[in-house]
Amino acid sequence: MSTLYARDEAAVAGIEKLRFFPLEVVSGHGSTLVDPAGRELLDLSATWTASGLGHGHPAIVEAVTRAVRDAPGSGGLSAVHPDSVGLAEDLLALVPGDGERRVYLGHAGSDANDVALRACRHATGRRTVLAFEHSYHGGVGVAMGVSGVHVDAGAPPDPDAVFLPYPNPFRPVGDSVEADVTACLELAEGHLAGGSIACLIVEPILSDGGLIVPPDGFLARLHGLCRRHGVPMICDEVKMGLGRPGTLHAFDHDGITPDIVTFGKVLGGGLPLSAAVGPAHILDNPPAAALLTTAGNPVCTAAGRAVLATIVGEQLPERAAAIGALLADGLRGLAGSPGAERIGDIRGRGLAIGVELVDPDSGERDSRLAGQVVYRAWELGAIVYYVGGNVLEITPPLVLTEAEAGRAVEILGAAIADAAAGKVNAEEVARYAGW
Ligand SMILES: Cc1ncc(COP(=O)(O)O)c(C=O)c1O
């Protein structure tokens, strides 16, 4: 272990770490990260999508440099400045919605979801939150308590959360995924009709739960039920939104207009920034109930405006659709090569691709292999993590080039082949438990 990694172990709290291999990075450019020895690594995670525009994007560098040089204070709590107001206006223009709306500006997907959930409880006077098993909405407060992933890991669920099963086309629990959709919607309707639901929160693609893409129309039917019963739907676009799925919003796929939409990660272009966009009557009240001193600060909001302008101006959703299709086709093309029998499913939209690793005989999830594959990929020069225990989550920067997509396929194919052939040191991998 290097000195830097050892110093990290001795100094930084384990509670905030999710490690898969001893990654050290000192700089980055585009879709490349550079380690202290100068080795270049192809970034297929984009820091869990937070570096969605890649590293050192000129538009962000320019915006942040300008903003930090003569920053008008450091937060929107008790003052307004052009970039906080401008970012809120940009979001109102980009996010569909009805009636009078407002934008909450925060620091992370976690607080955007937490605030949206609390505001729904306050506005409706009801407590119960409908959420999904294996979902992830954040690491604090109510957002954490309604996250199935945390609850699976032993965190106490919010006492007023109800978890619905998210339909998984690759692993239906009933006779078919259609049957699962029907069962889920019936369950949801039973709760929605009961009159105690404050809101429903849903990921349009279940990301940390295993990059599960629900059947077409699922979200629309769910939204229809929420509308019928007057229950606000929060669509959590923190990880999958803003161009990654090949559309600006992931919910565009189902043609819906959610009541509240939350953003984070790529919105800050690597800086801490999040937002919740929704009805004024929900997000205005109670006043001063969601105060973070540096929320809406000039530097992060300038970055956010640059990110949105770049996503739209450089047509990154279209680009994600095209490069994502190439990458997914390349991965499908691995069929028949050594180790490919361990790939149970390849799915996704745009530059959000999941590769599910399985035991070829039983079809069971192979979590051990997933740990070894991501470790081997790092050794071979690519950064990729897994979600849902056994699913490689490929979410590179939206600026990934065609040549980089080809290189990604080569490295991932080799990593799967090597891990399947037992060439990865299992003892070494076990030191990095992942999750
Ligand atoms: C869908 C989703 N929502 C919310 C969050 C929380 O975001 P953050 O870690 O920035 O607080 C995440 C993080 O992974 C996420 O994937």
Q: What CATH number has the domain bearing residue 354? A: 3.90.1150.10
Six token digits for residue 55: 């590293």
Clarify whether residues 202 and 284 are in a common domain.
yes
Clarify whether residues 170 and 233 are in a common domain.
yes
Q: How far is the CA of 422 from the centre of ligand 1 (A)?
A: 34
Clarify whether residues 129 and 245 are in a common domain.
yes
* pLDDT at residue number 433: 74
What gap in Å lies between CA 217 and CA 204, rounded to an integer? 11
- Write out the residue range of the structural domain in which residue 425 sits: 3-56+315-430
Clarify whether residues 239 and 162 are in a common domain.
yes
Q: Is residue 372 part of a domain?
A: yes
Q: What residues form DSSP beta bridges with 202?
A: 235
* pLDDT at residue number 37: 95
Neighbours of 404 (CB within 10 A): 21
The residue contributing the CA closest to ligand 1 atom 8 is: 109
Question: Counting atoms of ligand 1 from 1, which one is nearest the CA of 113?
Answer: 4
Question: Counting atoms of ligand 1 from 1, which one is nearest the CA of 140?
Answer: 11
Q: How far is the CA of 420 from the centre of ligand 1 (A)?
A: 31
Question: Counting atoms of ligand 1 from 1, which one is nearest the CA of 139?
Answer: 11
What gap in Å lies between CA 191 and CA 79, rounded to an integer? 42
Clarify whether residues 159 and 207 are in a common domain.
yes
Confirm if 353 and 346 have CB atoms less than 8 A apart: yes
Q: Is residue 93 part of a domain?
A: yes
Q: Is residue 103 part of a domain?
A: yes
* pLDDT at residue number 76: 85
Report the pocket of ligand 1 as residue ranges, CB < 6 Å.
48, 108-110, 113, 136-139, 203, 207-208, 236, 238-239, 264-265
CATH of the domain at 237: 3.40.640.10
The position carrying tokens 């295993």 is: 210
Q: One digit per residue, pLDDT tens: the chain, 435 residues?
A: 678 999 999 999 999 999 999 999 999 999 999 999 999 999 999 999 999 999 999 999 999 999 999 999 999 899 999 999 999 999 999 999 999 999 999 999 999 999 999 999 999 999 999 999 999 999 999 999 999 999 889 999 999 999 999 999 999 999 999 999 999 999 999 999 999 999 999 999 999 999 999 999 999 999 999 999 999 999 999 999 999 999 999 999 999 999 999 999 999 999 999 999 999 999 999 999 999 999 999 999 999 999 999 999 999 999 999 999 999 999 999 999 999 999 999 999 999 999 999 999 999 999 999 999 999 999 999 999 999 999 999 999 999 999 999 999 999 999 999 999 999 999 999 888 777
Domains contained in the chain, number: 2
* pLDDT at residue number 134: 97
Positive/negative CA dihedral, 209, 213, 215, 218:
positive
Question: Counting atoms of ligand 1 from 1, which one is nearest the CA of 109?
Answer: 7
Positive/negative CA dihedral, 41, 47, 49, 54:
negative
Q: Ligand 1 test: best mutation among 16, 47, 115, 137, most atoms within 8 Å of CB?
A: 137
Clarify whether residues 137 and 249 are in a common domain.
yes
313, 339, 366: which is the final residue of a domain?
A: 313
* pLDDT at residue number 435: 76
Q: How far is the CA of 136 from the centre of ligand 1 (A)?
A: 7
The position carrying tokens 């919605």 is: 97
Q: Is residue 154 part of a domain?
A: yes
Clarify whether residues 189 and 322 are in a common domain.
no
Residue 104 bears catalytic tag: no
Clarify whether residues 66 and 190 are in a common domain.
yes
* pLDDT at residue number 313: 98
The residue contributing the CA closest to ligand 1 atom 3 is: 137
Clarify whether residues 396 and 337 are in a common domain.
yes
265, 285, 313: which is the final residue of a domain?
A: 313
Strand ranges inside 96-181, DSSP E? 101-106, 128-132, 161-164
Clarify whether residues 18 and 72 are in a common domain.
no
* pLDDT at residue number 87: 98
pLDDT in tens, 102-120: 999 999 999 999 999 999 9
Clarify whether residues 96 and 150 are in a common domain.
yes
Q: Would you call 314 exposed, middle or buried from its count of C-beta atoms within 10 A (0-12, 13-18, 19+)?
A: middle
The bridge status of strand 274-279 relative to strand 101-106 is antiparallel
Q: How far is the CA of 137 from the centre of ligand 1 (A)?
A: 5
Positive/negative CA dihedral, 371, 139, 171, 251:
negative
The position carrying tokens 């059947």 is: 215
The residue contributing the CA closest to ligand 1 atom 4 is: 137
What gap in Å lies between CA 74 and CA 124, rounded to an integer? 33
* pLDDT at residue number 80: 94
287, 313, 339: which is the final residue of a domain?
A: 313
Confirm if 131 and 164 have CB atoms less than 8 A apart: yes
Q: How far is the CA of 138 from the centre of ligand 1 (A)?
A: 5
Cα dihedral: 166, 129, 254, 211 (round 10) = -40
Neighbours of 70 (CB within 10 A): 7
What gap in Å lies between CA 233 and CA 122, rounded to an integer? 15
Order of strands, sheet of 27-29, starting from the edge strand that comes earlier in the sequence: 27-29, 32-34, 40-43, 382-383
Coil, helix or strand for 118?
helix
Q: Is residue 435 part of a domain?
A: no
* Residue in 104, 136, 166, 385 annotated catalytic: 136
Phi and psi (nearest 5°) for 273? -160, 135
Burial 293-308 (b: 16+ CB within 10 A, else e): eebbbbbbbbbbbbbb
Clarify whether residues 332 and 292 are in a common domain.
no
